[in-house]
Structure 1
């Protein structure tokens, strides 16, 4: 399962011919199997691109098949629709409950709506269940979800459906209700697969550090500079996801590569999770020898 998101706001790059900046995007693709104790180590990869169009997404994911967890951005839905009409590997969209929740939080801040508060209380129950099963196997998570979360989600859908008939679709509450119901199948996907998270927060968290760097630097000087920025961000934030100090890791990795201690056919051993495991093995051996 993969999560995907473009930065917002965009990442500008210099466009000398037009004597101004061009709005580009830094996309983040993340994977994290730790919530269901899966085999893949956590990782995030950033891709610098000229746009946030459906065609751009399709190009990035041309060989990907499986579950893609995203927010409600239209480009993902356009891509999934096109994918369904082609012979490319099938893809399912799982949507983000945190994004839906945020809309009702905004309603409460704006109007103090008791209906929105009630919806937030039900969503909080879902997150309470998720906290309890984090780190369990996919089968265990699915079993608990079907027993405990499915009834709450059913009640939530019934409440939203009733509200959709009672409130104006143009009101803040009506818009939040419409968004949630329109994305319901993807929001409830976690009830069918224990590997799926209830939200895309793994990629949301991975955007925070690059967003801060982008704010400080204002823009990149060229497309090549944007691509370099994306590569460095991928290395640093993947190290962080694996609990590795990026500075220590990069210093050691670069020294090994430059000195020839690690050959080209063994570069995978330098990836953060493999590097960390090697360090831990050496430390264990030293403790046993002491």
Structure 2
């Protein structure tokens, strides 16, 4: 009996040890899963950091970037073609085309001046001795030529007149015109050229100074910067009027981007922000002209957005998921709360980035379903709001309604620490705002409009590195507002800024400020 009890005790002890070992193994496996998920997250973060630093900044490859590798190949092909033509011409084997090529005829803009050069044959006498041949037609070939940027000096002469009878007591002379820089060097056209060069064509002032120096003109970068500041100050009432026009709108887009600014007295660069407010009704055929206004701030907090939108009537604001905008929708903290609609592109981008590092059927399916929504949006762009809502209700709503339960089911199969769960919850948490476009034909699905308006800012930031001061950042915001609004309205910003500066200097009436708006410019 004693041996049986001893054996039973040993069996129980072995079973206990086996259970403990199994529990330890299960715990170790759980820890291993957590470690593997953490490792995968770190690898994705590292890959994302590398891609953000060295790779494309968009999930969609820019066509210009896609064609970069082929430019050298095309250049080499051009060299080979030229060498082949030269060899054929030397050997006399090159065949003349059966009919003259007219591929350029009618393709060049009509407003360009045409300089005609007529090439007559050496002789128009008939070889048979019949006399002069009669002209029966001609062959016209158009080629595109360029005249390098040419500077000129405008000399203003104001004659003086005196009365000889009165011994010079009476005299007359036209008053001096008002200039942007009193007794200064630049015309309004030169200042506009420099300003658009930096804030529209991403050429910092020091690069412009180098370009001017090639033509023997010494213009210091600090001088160019001062001129731009003066121009921005004069144009401030125009930007204020554009903002006042925006206050009438109840469907807007808003976003923000970084603006590095040199902190005074420290030598360090401070990260400030440029906030952007956009009105663009072209997607649904609205009659109000598109406007974009930039606003400089040292903060990204919601109170800045409140201050920018102070005096607005309220309505629907299309934004990304930045938490600062939540303050605008809180009736306890905002006098006229906004209804927030959220951007589908920002949500889609999360799945695109995740799938770049970790293949995921969930990401592939999510991206495909969002693509279906965008295909519908493409078909209804430009149609009136009622038609857009009707199409969305019929085709987009079933896709959206099926999306939520599917995503909730996916969450049940994923651990709470999985990064993909975070991306799914991002949209589910904002579901009402994500689906608001289904009920309103005046809303877009995304903030791509305001992001496109922002796009020149990072390019300028990349080339100019930072603004030299807070005032410089404010100048940046003002000029960016004018250039961006000109582009939205198909207006040449350089011609507009030059003409508007001249009108303001000529004492244009403040009551007629509407005439100076970019969409009213006829250059």
Could you state the TM-score of these two structures normalised by the residue count of structure 2? 0.50
Q: 1:31 aligns with which of 279, 288, 292?
A: 279
**In 1, Cα distance between equivalents of 2:494 and 2:463:** 20
| Cα shift readout 1:211-241 (whole Å, capped 9, x = no counterpart) | 1112211121222111111000000011001
2:295 matched to 1:47?
A: yes
Partner of 1:180: 427
Please give the alpha-carbon distance, in whole angstroms, between the structure 2 residues aligned to 1:102 and 1:172.
14
1:57 equivalent to 2:286? Answer no
Deviation readout 1:140-174 (Å, 9 max, x if unpaired): 11111111100010111121111111112322321
Q: Is the 8 A contact 2:327 2:333 kept in 1?
A: no
Return the match for 1:226 from 473, 495, 500.
Answer: 473
58-67 or 84-93, larger mean C-alpha shift: 84-93
User: CA contact under 8 A between 2:264 and 2:469: conserved in structure 1?
Assistant: no
Bigger mean CA offset, 201-210 vs 71-80:
71-80
Q: CA separation of 1:87/1:202 partners in 2, compared to 1, >3 Å: closer, same or farther?
A: closer
Aligned to 1:66: 315
Partner of 1:287: none
Is contact 1:236-1:246 (8 Å) kept?
yes
Question: CA offset at residue 180 of structure 1?
Answer: 1.3
Deviation of the 1:120 alpha carbon:
0.9
> How big is each residue's C-alpha offset from its partner over 1:248-289, in whole Å with a ceiling of 9 and x where there is no partner?
2222222333345x433222112121125xx6xxxxxxxxxx
Provide the rounded CA distance (Å) in 2 between the counterparts of 1:23 and 1:86.
27
Structure 2: how far apart are the matches of 1:129 and 1:30? 23
Q: Secondary structure at the match of 1:6?
A: strand
Q: Distance in 1 between matches of 2:418 and 2:402?
A: 22
Any idea what SS the aligned residue of 1:18 has? coil
CA change 1:86–1:16 in 2 (3 A) is closer
* Aligned twin of 1:6: 256
In structure 1, the residue corresponding to 2:521 is in which secondary structure? helix
> Which range is displaced more, 42-51 or 86-95?
86-95
In structure 1, C-alpha distance between the alignment counterparts of 2:392 and 2:255, rounded to whole Å:
26
**Residue number among 135, 142, 152 corresponding to 2:399 in the alignment:** 152
The 5-angstrom pairing of residues 254-265 of structure 1 reads 254-260=501-507, 262-265=508-511
Corresponding residue number in structure 2 for 1:105: 352
Which residue of the partner structure matches residue 236 of structure 2? none
Q: Secondary structure at the match of 1:52?
A: coil
User: Do residues 270 (structure 1) and 519 (structure 2) align?
Assistant: no
Unaligned runs of 5+ in 1: 280-290
* RMSD value, Cα: 1.6
CA gap of 1:252–1:202, structure 2 versus 1, over 3 A, is: same
1:169–1:178 CA contact under 8 A, matched in 2: no
CA distance in 1, matches of 2:253, 2:447: 6
Structure 2 spans left out of the alignment, 5+ residues: 1-250
Residue by residue, what CA displacement relative to the aligned partner does 1:178-204 show, whole Å, maximum 9, x if unpaired? Answer: 111111111111011111110011111
Offset at residue 86 of structure 1 (A): 4.8
Cα deviation, 1:27-49, whole Å, max 9, x if unaligned, reads: 11111011011122111100011
1:202 maps onto 2:452 in alignment: no
Segments ≥4 residues shifted beyond 6 Å: none
Deviation of 1:134 after TM superposition, in Å, equals 0.5
1:77 is aligned to 326
Structure with higher Rg: it is 2
Please say if 1:253 is aligned against 2:500. Answer: yes
Do the aligned partners of 1:95 and 1:186 also contact (CA within 8 Å) in 2? Answer: yes
CA 1:263–1:79 in structure 2 vs 1: closer, same or farther (change >3 Å)? Answer: closer
Report 1 or 2 for greater relative contact order, CA contacts < 8 Å, sequence distance ≥ 6. 1
CA distance in 2, matches of 1:111, 1:17: 46
Equivalent residue in structure 2 for 1:243, among 455, 471, 490: 490
2:271 and 2:298 in contact (8 A); partners too: yes
* Conserved? CA contact 1:37–1:136, under 8 Å: yes
Q: How many residues align?
A: 272
The separation in 1 between residues aligned to 2:419 and 2:488, in whole angstroms, is 36
Q: Which residue of 1 aligns with 2:39?
A: none
